[in-house]
Structure 1
Amino acid sequence: MIALIQRVNDASVQINQQTIARINYGLLALIGIEKHDNDATLHKLAHKLLNYRLFSDSQGKMNLNIQQINGEILLVSQFTLAANTQKGNRPSFDCAMAPQQAAQYFQQFCQHIRQQHPATQTGEFGANMQINLTNDGPVTFWLQT
């Protein structure tokens, strides 16, 4: 599994010009699911996402995780993160998990995160979404299991 995480002042998801999810200070996580992913990789990425220290402490060092700052999380599925871009000028999605199975894994991932951090919103799997955000820093990290 892959997560592209961004520390944000705010973020939202719109579908057909209607806002379906909105958060304030916290993190936006774009989630990519690959063919080889399983329950172990799902739990490993969830643990890493919840414990990754990307928020500043009182000395200005990135020492605090999302739970320590009581921030909000926005999870958005993004299969393009699993693209192979090594050859040519067109991405290959051979590494991405099939949509039906990926949808189940994404839902499991969201449930697992919500159980530990209720201040979590989600996009809609497979939908054409417009993501709006104000990146704080900017701070962006690539997490992969």
Structure 2
Amino acid sequence: MSVPVDPRSKDDGFEHHDANVKGLLAVGFGLLATLAVSLTAVAVLISYYDSTPEPPVTALERDRIIPPAPRLETSSRGNGQQVIREAEQRLNRYAWIDREAGVARIPLPRARILLLERGWPSPVEASGGRDVRLQQTKQRAQP
């Protein structure tokens, strides 16, 4: 299927009816004018907001209100280091968990040594519950 070609375009070697240059120039200048008006409007708004004084601060805005705990972290690196330090102290110190029941927390290296010496504790019987475990703990604690 062939497209009819203008004989003048065929003689000159290029198409004379490609685009309407006047229309394209009008659209281009219209876009530039719109851009210039927009930039001018933004500049006027910025200068207006810079020259407008801020409203006075109320007493409620001046008071510093501290929300109840838990609060958001202000320094995640600092708080993270503190949490790690506290956890390491908890893992490396002796402390009572339940003094009445005779349950204590011991440092990890000491717990590993005791586990190697005494072996893994036997499973708790289903009927006895906590009493059986307490008796096993007291028996192992005696030298």
TM-score, normalised to structure 2's length?
Answer: 0.18
Q: Which has the higher contact order (CA 8 A, sep 6+)?
A: 1
Higher gyration radius (CA) = 2
